[in-house]
Chains A and B, each alone.
Chain A
Amino acid sequence: MRVFVIGAGITGSLITRELSKYDLEVHVIDKAPDIGWGVTKANSAIVHGGYDDPPGSVRAQFAALGNKMYDELSNELDFDFIRTGSYVVAFKEEDVEYLKELKKRGVKNGVSNLEILTSEELKNREPNLNKDIKAALWCPTAGITEPWEVSIAAIENAKDNGAIVHLDEKVLDIIVQNQKVKKILTDKGEYNADIIINAAGLFADEIAKMAGVADFEIFPRKGEYILLDKKLKGLVNAVIFPTPTKKSKGILVVPTVDGGILLGPNAVDLPKDQKNNLETTKEGLNEVYEKSKALVPSIDISYSVKTFAGLRPETKNKDFIIGATKIWGFINVAGIRSPGLTAAPAIAKYITEKVIPEDLGLNLSKKSNFNPFRKRIPHLEETNLEEWEKIVKKDPRFGRTVCFCNNVSEGEIVEAIKRGAKTLDGVKFRTRASFGRCQGGFCSLKILEIISRELSIPLEEIKQNYKNSWIVKGKVRP
């Protein structure tokens, strides 16, 4: 039995890993040159508590459940996950009422540990928040992670367990015969397939159309961010939400796992043909700054490290579309907007434990030799010095610092390349080299050199990320 997962974002990656527990031939395919470069790369990186999704929605079904799975998952896959907790803060009396409403909704969604705090209690725990805040809803189980790292970890582990990974390969068509999936056509070839799982993020509607089940559309909704230097670590200790509006959860102040502070996102609906529009705008960045400053007045924007934008894959009903379709073997995991990161582990299990056995009627048998563990690339900043010394003694390249802002060594970069990084971004997202305050000023050329040496390709051929993102033009003189 051959299964193809389309999309190596967080949902596709975790599904691939889940499938690799069974006796199946599992393939995952992504048009991007690396793992997790779609929606998964640019978002708030919060593992939400799961209290605020409308009860009865598909989102509510998976969010709280997914949250609970993160401890074990991060333990097995060795990625960063910190249960920082989150606050929804209220400035007005009616907002305080809304917090009570949210708390009740939490109970309905199976999130029963919520607490409403007074402004006094909040002040002690988060001294930098706006003093006008009247009350806050505290959710201790909310957390933060690095979504692309979750994807990378899941794919590495799936690969270890036999999954086959196709990157830089775009799905162009799906051949259906007798109401059953038959083939997948890509820009590199064609493959027979028994089951196809559509986890194509913003493009899931196009993939569904290829299989002839075009009953939904995906609209991009942009969210812009400003990332602040990790010198500000501790500015907030938990995720800070304003009272949500109908449209979105609002503009937040979020600690990142490596100590930075993320501000954003705003929410701007884009036309359907703008699924690649990741431009930041003056208005958007201003809005992010103004609104985050309302939450934490002492935010100093001169600590900006960079700005970026992400696109939410929205559907008309603002809900996930998950399950089998009228085409046997074609499964949708579409419209995975927020809280998709949170829900992804639960969605993945649901595919293998419910959709495939119950809706497709297939009995899957588990591999006896599945290895659930994957080890991360060691990072100096997360390791104590005695241990790091042992690593250096084994391989001196771990003693050669390349990225000074985040203390990333040549050893880590070489390991990232071994694990599949081919581009500057590939290295950056695996090691955090050039992710810091100098944004690659000191290290980008050294990283180019290392990639060139390790992969035996000339500097001119190394890309920042996608095909046309060349960095070096050619020799000054021969």
Chain B
Amino acid sequence: MRIEKVDVLIIGGGAAGLAAAIEAKNTGVKTLLLERDRNTGGVLNQCIHNGFGLHVFKEELTGPEFMERLWEELGNLDEIIRNNYTVLKIDHINREVITLSEEGIVVFKPKALIMATGARERPLNALRIPGSRVAGVYTAGVAQKMVNIYNRLPGNRVLIVGSGDIGLIMARRLKIEGMDVLGVVEIMPEPGGLIRNVVQCLEDFNIPLWLSHTVFKIHGKERLEGVTIGKVDENFNPIPGTERYIEVDTLVASVGLIPQNELIENFVEMDPINRGPVIDDLMRTSIEWIFAAGNNVAIHDLVDFVYEEGKIAGRNAAKYVLGEKLPKPKYIFKRGNNVGVLLPQRFTGKEPFKMYLRPKKSLEKSAILFSGKVVRKFNWKIRPSEMIDLVVRNFESLPNEVLVEVNKID
């Protein structure tokens, strides 16, 4: 077993990990990024649609284009990136990262660690939909990879389950490639993805979206033959009499992304709502030498935000390695009314920073409040599916524990 010493070690080479690597490397510390896949880029590899980089590069790029920008920024990839390295385990007591690759077992001893392991898709199997277990059921990400990377179609007639962004994008993609896309069913009363995607992917292509609908049963012997769909009430119980059989040979499920934190969740303080580590404005976890950024911290809508987080994590991890004394978190953000995803949960109060949050429920007119004080108003409808970013500048007057609320206003 070989042992390698390194200053900043980054696990995961998606947008967050690449951004972190760029920042860390630019400070001159010895930086290494481990990626378990054949190449870096993460989900960007398979997102050949455009819509990436509007904030960061002020341009609409495709996923691979965005990825290439990051590669350019990084410079000599071979020096920094190790592809096909899977991290098996983090021994946080001895500060060791144990990996498997074609070289065998390599143990890295980093001074600082950045977790950028991204998210995985929730499989349809996890939803316990009754019926047969048949071929022809894919997650949207698998279908996307199949079409965009493997150049293969998943079937002939498809129903999309769940209106998350990947589901919406795949509805359009499969339609363009000649499949019969019968529609999208969404169990919630509102779409799960960005409104721009509902418009550009469904409405522009005449693909129906059935809200408050779900799949009641899966039919078929070996390959999928059809599904029974129907309407659900507020408690997501099927409404009798609304059942309808739809003949399809393919189901594409976009029923949620789950942050991947198996490597740290047993020793780092976790946020059960974000399903990621609790972090501060320096992207530090509860363990001072472990930082985190990207979809493993919480699910983000836009790559730009992931990229910015990665940069913050990279910068501060490098500072930590260089022995700079980083400020301690001074304030705590607590969830109050109507707050779902929220990050960071801690902040040092030294510099302005961006806060991200999702309301639990949609509101026509609303405001974000910090311990009772309005800090931002919305004249447009806010929804859980669209992450709100908010630059926090004035914290001198805040109490140490800040209650964050999203309330209705008139």
- CB contacts under 8 Å to A, within B59-116, are 84, 86, 88, 98, 100-105
Do residues B135 and A385 form an inter-chain contact, with CB atoms below 8 A? no
Q: With A473-B153, A475-B151, A475-B152 as given contacts, are A441 and B123 in contact (CB-CB < 8 Å)?
A: yes
Q: With A280-B130, A281-B130, A401-B100 as given contacts, are A472 and B123 in contact (CB-CB < 8 Å)?
A: no
The reply to whether the CB of B125 lies closer than 8 angstroms to some CB of chain A is: yes
Do residues B130 and A407 form an inter-chain contact, with CB atoms below 8 A? no
Chain B 119-150, CB-CB to A under 8 Å as 1, else 0, gives: 01101011110111111100101100111011
Do residues A389 and B105 form an inter-chain contact, with CB atoms below 8 A? yes
Q: With A392-B104, A465-B135, A469-B222 as given contacts, are A445 and B126 in contact (CB-CB < 8 Å)?
A: no
Q: Within 8 Å CB of A285, what residues of B? A: 128, 130
Contact of B154 among A386, A469, A473 (CB under 8 A): A473
Chain A 444-478, CB-CB to B under 8 Å as 1, else 0, gives: 11000100000000011001111111111111110
Q: Within 8 Å CB of A284, what residues of B? A: 130
Q: Within 8 Å CB of A9, what residues of B? A: none
Mostly, the A contact residues are mixed
A114: min CB distance to chain B, Å: 35
Q: Within 8 Å CB of B1, what residues of A? A: 385-386, 389
Do residues A470 and B223 form an inter-chain contact, with CB atoms below 8 A? yes
Do residues B120 and A385 form an inter-chain contact, with CB atoms below 8 A? no
The reply to whether the CB of A278 lies closer than 8 angstroms to some CB of chain B is: yes
Docked pose: A276 CA to B223 CA in angstroms: 14
The reply to whether the CB of A388 lies closer than 8 angstroms to some CB of chain B is: yes
Do residues A477 and B125 form an inter-chain contact, with CB atoms below 8 A? no
Do residues A279 and B154 form an inter-chain contact, with CB atoms below 8 A? no
Q: Within 8 Å CB of B147, what residues of A? A: 476
State which size class the interface on A falls in: 35 or more
Do residues B153 and A472 form an inter-chain contact, with CB atoms below 8 A? yes
A203: min CB distance to chain B, Å: 16
Docked pose: A225 CA to B177 CA in angstroms: 38
The reply to whether the CB of A307 lies closer than 8 angstroms to some CB of chain B is: yes
Contact of A438 among B123, B145, B152, B153 (CB under 8 A): B123
Q: With A441-B139, A474-B152, A475-B151 as given contacts, are A467 and B222 in contact (CB-CB < 8 Å)?
A: yes
Q: Within 8 Å CB of B86, what residues of A? A: 401, 404, 407
The count of A-to-B residue pairs whose CB atoms sit within 8 angstroms is 143
State which size class the interface on B falls in: 35 or more
- CB contacts under 8 Å to A, within B165-222, are 177, 216, 221-222
Docked pose: A470 CA to B147 CA in angstroms: 16
Which residue in chain A gives the minimum CB-CB distance to B152?
A472
Do residues A306 and B126 form an inter-chain contact, with CB atoms below 8 A? yes
B274: min CB distance to chain A, Å: 15
The reply to whether the CB of B155 lies closer than 8 angstroms to some CB of chain A is: yes
Docked pose: A473 CA to B150 CA in angstroms: 12
Q: Within 8 Å CB of B315, what residues of A? A: none
Contact of A445 among B132, B145, B223 (CB under 8 A): B145
Q: Within 8 Å CB of A401, what residues of B? A: 36, 84, 86, 100
Contact of A440 among B103, B123, B177 (CB under 8 A): B123
Q: Within 8 Å CB of A392, what residues of B? A: 100, 102-105
The reply to whether the CB of B156 lies closer than 8 angstroms to some CB of chain A is: yes
Docked pose: A468 CA to B155 CA in angstroms: 13
Contact of B105 among A385, A397, A442, A469 (CB under 8 A): A385
Q: Within 8 Å CB of A467, what residues of B? A: 222
Which residue in chain A gives the minimum CB-CB distance to B89?
A385
- CB contacts under 8 Å to B, within A356-383, are 380
Do residues A304 and B126 form an inter-chain contact, with CB atoms below 8 A? yes
Do residues B100 and A399 form an inter-chain contact, with CB atoms below 8 A? yes
A303: min CB distance to chain B, Å: 9
Chain B 332-353, CB-CB to A under 8 Å as 1, else 0, gives: 0000000000000000000000
Docked pose: A438 CA to B253 CA in angstroms: 13
B117: min CB distance to chain A, Å: 10
Do residues B152 and A476 form an inter-chain contact, with CB atoms below 8 A? yes
Docked pose: A308 CA to B131 CA in angstroms: 9
B136: min CB distance to chain A, Å: 8
A285, A397, A407, A439: most-surrounded residue (chain B CB, <10 A):
A439
Q: With A307-B125, A438-B123 as given contacts, are A407 and B88 in contact (CB-CB < 8 Å)?
A: yes
Docked pose: A240 CA to B372 CA in angstroms: 51
Do residues B150 and A279 form an inter-chain contact, with CB atoms below 8 A? no
B31: min CB distance to chain A, Å: 23
Q: Within 8 Å CB of A465, what residues of B? A: 135, 222
Do residues B223 and A469 form an inter-chain contact, with CB atoms below 8 A? yes
- Mind listing 21 A-B residue pairs with CB under 8 Å? A276-B221, A306-B133, A307-B128, A385-B1, A388-B100, A389-B1, A389-B104, A392-B100, A392-B105, A399-B101, A400-B101, A404-B36, A437-B120, A441-B142, A464-B135, A471-B135, A473-B154, A474-B152, A475-B153, A476-B152, A476-B153
Nearest 6 Cβ contacts at the A-B interface: A439-B123, A464-B135, A469-B135, A306-B125, A396-B102, A468-B222
Q: A392-B100, A399-B104, A438-B120 are in contact. List 4 more A-B contacts (CB 8 A).
A: A441-B120, A471-B136, A476-B151, A476-B152
